[in-house]
Structure 1
């Protein structure tokens, strides 16, 4: 019976060790996946922000061009 109990304990230890190894691997994989996900999200936010700034710059450029044209028209009317 003692040999049988020891065998059960060995099996239990092996299973526990295997589960701990799998959990560690799963946790490591989860952290890596989250890191990749965070990096992608961060890159998307940066890209989106850059696109917004580009659109704003284009809008400002159009506004400046309109002011320039209006000013030229006003100058022609003065002459």
Structure 2
């Protein structure tokens, strides 16, 4: 079962603070699988829980996959 990266990052970040969502290779998470985390983060932003500040895309594969999301916890 895959961990909920977005929820864990949200819960680990204090209100008003900045946090990061990233895949954890030691837990078997891949860049391809991490793309769904971006959709979760967008839903959290739409719900007013976070404000996405930066989305980083990798360049190594040539696919420009999202490999990190910086956010501020709003509530």
The answer, yes or no, to whether TM exceeds 0.5 is: no
- TM bin, normalised by shorter chain, reads under 0.3
User: Larger strand proportion, structure 1 or 2?
Assistant: 2
Structure 1 length normalisation: TM-score?
A: 0.22
Larger Rg: 1
User: Larger helix proportion, structure 1 or 2?
Assistant: 1
Structure 2 length normalisation: TM-score?
A: 0.23
